Amino acid sequence: MNKIIRMWNQNRKKIIIIVSIVVFFFLILQILNNIAKENIRQQNIDNNIRNENTMDEKIPTTSIITGEKVDKNISQNNLELIQDFTNKCNEGKIEEAYEMLSDECKEVLFPTVQKFKNNYYNVIFKYIRTIKVENYKNSNTTNTYAVTFYEDIISTGNIGKANNYKDYITVEKNTNKLNINSLITSKKLESKTEKLGLKIKILRQEIYIDYEIYKIEFQNNTENTILLDTLKSSKSIYLLDSNDIKYGSFTTEIAGSLFEVPMYGMKNLSIKFNKKYEPINNTKKMGFSDIILNYEKYKEQNTQEREKIELDL
């Protein structure tokens, strides 16, 4: 014990310095260790955020048109549906891809698997495709996506050739079924009116990304041939919205003779209107403002009063 006390007394300063240095370095190591742990924790947080942001970028949650946000889970589900449809087509599983289409899409565009194969599959899937999916517009019942089908250069070897294809694909929220080929939705209508011996009945509405098509039945209950339109104006057959804005029709795409309804006869027409898709459809009326009730007399005299008929949609 005396030796220890004597050694302490003789070397007290050295011992204090050595202990102080040891304690100092221990504290420094502790501080550096804590800093390292904090850096690792922050790096993990940053990596998680980066990974989450990267994943969010792949999931089309934001409309490129309106900026509207769609629930991430809904968007991921829709992305997976579109990817699954693409995969089935890439793998040649045509019938399985066809079964992913809505009943309306089948009825309107592809009533058979063969029509789907000829008019869609054979057009787009000549090559293996990769896709880019962007949220376009959304309604209460549908989500519409701009889908670019890129040629897979690795599988085709076609370097420098752009064989890309763009489509608008809509997912129905209640069925998880797809409307393709730019079809947004289609539904049966029962709008009808009868005036001046002409009965007009709208059978179906088809809404596409850039236009609308209406299937219309015309019944002539008079003793004269009725001319539905002279085709002198694209807005003589029109749609009218709640703001009284008129949308003209592409009547020049239809042969003029098809607008003639013989006495006591019937005619069915599909008329396309120049109205782009909006999630809130505020179309309230369809109008025919260039009707000739006696076409034979009109051809003889080339003049006759035009009649106008509007019906609510």
C-alpha dihedral sign at 154, 157, 159, 162: negative
CA pair distance 183, 108, nearest whole angstrom? 9
- In this predicted model, what pLDDT tens digit does every residue of 1-60 receive, in sequence order? 556 566 656 666 666 666 666 666 666 767 766 665 455 445 544 444 444 443 445 799
Residue 98, φ and ψ in degrees, nearest 5: -60, -35
In the chain, where are the structural domains located? 72-181, 185-312
CA pair distance 286, 85, nearest whole angstrom? 36
* Single-letter amino acid code for the residue at 288: F
Q: Write down the CATH superfamily of domain 72-181.
A: NTF2-like; domain 1 (3.10.450.100)
Q: With b meaning 16 or more CB within 10 Å and e meaning fewer, what string describes 83-96?
A: eebbebbbeeebee
Taking the complete model, does pTM exceed 0.85, yes or no? no
Class (C level, CATH) for 185-312: mainly beta
Q: Do domains 72-181 and 185-312 have the same CATH topology?
A: no
Q: In tens digits, what is the pLDDT along the chain, a chain of 313 residues?
A: 556 566 656 666 666 666 666 666 666 767 766 665 455 445 544 444 444 443 445 799 999 998 999 999 999 999 999 999 999 999 999 999 999 999 999 999 999 999 999 999 999 999 899 999 999 999 999 999 999 999 876 555 555 556 899 999 999 999 999 999 999 999 999 899 999 999 999 999 999 999 999 999 999 999 999 999 999 999 999 999 988 999 999 998 999 999 999 999 999 999 999 999 999 888 999 999 999 999 999 988 877 788 999 999 9
Q: Which residue has the tokens 């539905």?
A: 228
Does residue 168 contact residue 136 with C-beta atoms inside 8 Å? Answer: yes
CA pair distance 266, 284, nearest whole angstrom? 25
| Residue among 130, 170, 127 at smallest CA distance from 148 | 130
